[in-house]
């Protein structure tokens, strides 16, 4: 799997998800077998670049290459400026968001709302590719099958992207109107694959090694991109990669390994966000890890009342110890250093 000059270690990729695929999460997914990860969506408006939220989204310190930044917007010149700005900050690949279905993005004609304006799509693609070409930075596009089921235009948009010089296309097999309901349109992805020469990445409903293989075989896509199925389950990338390479399924992680991975994730998360924000934003990740585990609901209710990282970390550690009888009760050095600062 290649994107421009970059050869990826495998074809199992992390989908950009707002509020989820921050640097700590991307790093953990890459460590656990993801061949590539795209940052959560960054605004193209220069007025927002100095905000705390955007600054965090553009923080790639220590991240495994290649660094890919997704940008969103509806103004071609502003999108080109954002692409160049992120390339100057270390981005090696720029991804354009034309797939986000949330109202606050679509209401400003960004994300999947652009699928209703193919002329504007062309101007954005041309502007961003032109800005990145002199820098040697390839541009990718993530999109959906159309605005709604009556106006699917994935094939036309794919051709526009290829003609504009887009290096790879990710297609989520749903329309904007579908949001995340129903089933992904693998027939549409297959039809697009038959028409394109550039790499095509299939996205949507891929939640197991068997499903990943089926989607690759059926659609002919070059790679799969995993989003919601990786929430609280970052080891899904090694499971899929191993299955695609060997045809064999890996054993699921033990409770002890899950504990170690979650505590490592929390260590990095707390360092990244700090005490106040860290303890709050970690709650959703902890909740995802707990899904399907014994007595998870009652523990989650208690854990969500904790308002400091020390007690949150210890509560998680001790709860998993009760399941695994493994490890110790002492906060990791990173957490101790944070609390002492």
Please state, as a whole number, how many other Cβ atoms lie within 10 Å of the Cβ of residue 340: 6
What angle separates helix 118-132 from helix 154-164, to the nearest 10 degrees? 30
Mutual angle of helices 255-290 and 296-303, in 10-degree steps: 70
Cβ neighbors of 298 (< 8 A, separation 6 or more) are none
Record the tokens describing residue 153, joined without a space. 């235009």
DSSP structure class, residue 4:
T
Contact 317, 263 (CB under 8 A): yes
SS3 285: helix
Q: Does a cis peptide bond (omega within 30 degrees of 0) precede residue 297?
A: no
Among candidate residues 89, 70, 65, 62, the one with its CA nearest the CA of residue 7: 65
- Beta-bridged to residue 170, according to DSSP, are 142, 201
63 and 26 Cβ atoms separated by less than 8 Å: yes
Q: In what order do the strands lie in the sheet with 200-203?
A: 36-37, 12-14, 223-226, 200-203, 168-172, 139-144, 93-98, 68-72, 42-43
- Residues designated catalytic: 100
What are the structure tokens assigned to 99, written together? 């797939």
The set of residues, in sequence order, having a beta carbon less than 8 Å from that of 125 and lying 6+ positions away, is: 96, 139, 141, 160, 161, 164, 165, 166
DSSP-derived letter for residue 40 is P
Burial of 248 (0-12, 13-18, 19+ CB in 10 A): exposed
Q: Which two tokens stand for residue 283?
A: 């709650």
Half-sphere exposure of 281 (CA within 13 A, CB side): 22
């Amino acid at each position: 799997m290649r994107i421009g000059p970059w050869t990826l270690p495998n074809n199992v990729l992390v989908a950009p998800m707002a509020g989820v695929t921050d640097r700590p999460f991307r790093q953990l997914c890459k460590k656990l077998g993801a061949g590539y990860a795209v940052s959560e969506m960054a605004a193209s408006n220069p007025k927002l670049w100095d905000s705390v939220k955007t600054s965090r989204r553009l923080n790639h310190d220590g991240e495994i290459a290649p660094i890919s930044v997704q940008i969103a917007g509806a103004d071609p010149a502003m999108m080109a400026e954002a692409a160049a700005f992120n390339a100057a900050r270390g981005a090696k690949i720029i991804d354009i968001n034309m797939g986000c279905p949330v109202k606050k993005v679509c209401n400003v004609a960004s994300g999947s709302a652009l699928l209703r304006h193919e002329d504007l799509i062309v101007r954005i693609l041309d502007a961003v590719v032109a800005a990145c070409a002199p820098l040697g930075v390839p541009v990718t596009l993530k999109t959906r099958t159309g605005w709604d089921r009556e106006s699917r235009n994935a094939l036309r948009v794919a051709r526009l992207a290829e003609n504009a010089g887009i290096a790879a296309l990710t297609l989520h097999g749903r329309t904007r109107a579908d949001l995340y309901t129903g089933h992904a349109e693998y027939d549409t992805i297959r039809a697009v694959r038959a028409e394109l020469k550039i790499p095509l990445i299939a996205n949507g409903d891929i939640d197991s090694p068997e499903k990943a293989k089926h989607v690759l075989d059926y659609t002919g896509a070059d790679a799969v991109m995993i989003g919601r199925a990786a929430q609280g389950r970052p080891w899904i990338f090694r499971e899929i990669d191993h299955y695609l390479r060997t045809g064999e399924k890996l054993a699921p992680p033990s409770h002890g390994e899950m504990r170690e991975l979650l505590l490592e994730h929390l260590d990095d998360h707390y360092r990244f966000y700090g005490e106040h924000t860290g303890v709050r934003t970690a709650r959703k990740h902890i909740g995802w890890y707990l899904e399907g585990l014994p007595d998870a609901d009652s523990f989650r209710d208690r854990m969500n009342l904790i308002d400091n990282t020390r007690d949150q970390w210890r509560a998680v550690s001790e709860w998993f110890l009760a399941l695994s009888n493994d490890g110790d009760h002492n906060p990791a050095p990173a957490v101790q250093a944070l609390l002492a600062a």
